[in-house]
Structure 1
Amino acid sequence: MTIVRSVLLFGLAALAEIGGAWLVWQGVREHRGLLWVAAGVIALGAYGFVATLQPDANFGRILAAYGGVFVAGSLAWGMVVDKFQPDRWDYIGAALCLVGVAVIMYAPRPA
């Protein structure tokens, strides 16, 4: 269950961070206003809290692994929300990042 919990937390963190960054982008670049920016800042703050819930106690490991989740999640967000069409290199890069996440977070380590 620890791996399932960790994966779910990475997903929630990705929604908060990518969604927050998207809201700021919409507020500033698409001129939607300060309420969008404020909502984005709140979501980005929530990302910081969600990351602390990971079962691993090592900040550097969690943040490094989350980097791979962010890459794949950003492409997925772009596909769903902005109708972005990744090419094969985007897919290959995202897959490599997710393999890196698995190695960093879930490889067996001595107790």
Structure 2
Amino acid sequence: MTLLAYAGAAIAEIAGCFSFWAWLRLERSPWWLVPGGVSLGLFAYLLTLVETDAAGRAYAAYGGVYIVASLLWLWAIEGVRPDRWDVVGGCICLLGAAIILFGPRTA
């Protein structure tokens, strides 16, 4: 469930932020902001579904997922293929996210 929540949150956040980018940088209609705002609300909701004892930990681990999702967006939506440094950096970020989220905790 955690991985699905993170994946959905990443897509929602990137899509919401892209709507603002499209409006400001690509001169799209201000109507792009409506689905963007809904998407950002969905992003925030999905992060609440992550099973962890602290919001900050959920957000920190999400950061790694967000970075990789952003690189996938770069490739799939913007047509720019990530280079080897993007891939290596993304893998390091995912490793860090896994350590934060799944590392053993003491009471």
Fold match by TM threshold 0.5: yes
Equivalent positions of 1:5-84 (< 5 A) are: 5-84=1-80
TM-score when normalising by structure 1: 0.91
Aligned length in residues: 107
The range that moved more, 69-78 or 20-29, is 20-29
Taking the aligned partners of 1:85 and 1:79, their CA distance within structure 2 comes to 5
Aligned-partner residue type, residue 65 of structure 2? V
Taking the aligned partners of 1:107 and 1:8, their CA distance within structure 2 comes to 19
Q: Report the aligned-residue RMSD.
A: 1.1
- Give unpaired runs (5+ residues) of structure 1: none
**Percent identity between the aligned chains?**
38
Aligned-partner residue type, residue 77 of structure 1? W
Q: Deviations over 1:64-111 (max 9, x none)?
A: 111111111100011000111111111000000000111000122235
TM-score when normalising by structure 2: 0.94
Taking the aligned partners of 1:8 and 1:57, their CA distance within structure 2 comes to 18
Shift of 1:38: 1.9
Tell me which residue corresponds to 1:108. Answer: 104
Aligned-partner residue type, residue 23 of structure 2? G
- Give unpaired runs (5+ residues) of structure 2: none
Query: 1:24 touches 1:38 (CA, 8 Å); kept in 2?
Result: no
Alignment counterpart, residue 99 of structure 1, candidates 85, 95, 100: 95
